[in-house]
Homo-oligomer: A and B are copies of this chain.
């Protein structure tokens, strides 16, 4: 469970990174809650009217949206330190997407109003939020390229590489590690890549057979990220774009 913001281990990546210690103490006043959500449960749902915003403290989560006919598209995977729940338009309109815990998850909860209040005193905080939102948009854009212009094989390779780098970057000093914890089911990969779980299975099996990656017991191993990147038909050099992951 999250403790005091002053000792927060994810602050290095989080919204409140630019603040000085005494300023972090201030955020305590606006943090309304620390919350634990079970694996598979919703944090909020499409249509809900809450205006809370969140920093993911521990675990994996995702944002998703459903079409009128009920099929699901995963918009974004969330890792520790990621900020989410901020919406365009007046705070208090209905949520435009859902957020679900993938693993069991710990959250820091803030009110949207409190966030705006904090901005008045700390311009850097506002800049940081804008950057993080722009980063999310850049990741969304990369996914758009995947869904629009890449084959199933390329999409899956690309998603796994993205998550590989994002997870690894959160573990300081692990630049050469080739294994990460990877809790996603094949169905979740499918819903993110715009494919069926069946086709994900076949394609993943093919990638494993070619030794481009290993995935077993929720552990993902990528022996040669550059080789996998070549199979991903990437538009961008992941290693060179760490800042946006």
Which residues of A come within 8 Å of B, CB atoms?
A: 46, 63, 65-69, 71-73, 75-76, 86-90, 93, 96-97, 116, 119-120, 123, 126-127, 129-138, 140-145, 147-150, 191-194, 233-236, 241, 243-244
Contacting pair B88 A138 (CB below 8 A): yes
Q: Could you pull out 21 A-B pairs where Cβ atoms are within 8 angstroms?
A: A65-B142, A65-B145, A67-B150, A68-B233, A68-B235, A87-B134, A89-B243, A93-B243, A96-B141, A96-B236, A119-B123, A123-B123, A123-B126, A129-B130, A133-B137, A136-B137, A140-B140, A147-B148, A147-B194, A148-B191, A148-B193
CB nearest neighbor in B for A71: B149
Known: A67-B149, A143-B144, A233-B69. A243 touches B86 (CB 8 A): no
| Cα separation A143 to B141 with both chains bound (whole Å) | 10
Partner of A67, one of B63, B126, B137, B235: B235
Contacting pair A65 B235 (CB below 8 A): yes
Collect the chain B residues with CB atoms within 8 Å of residue A136's CB.
137
Contacting pair B68 A234 (CB below 8 A): yes
Collect the chain B residues with CB atoms within 8 Å of residue A191's CB.
148
Collect the chain B residues with CB atoms within 8 Å of residue A140's CB.
137, 140-141, 144
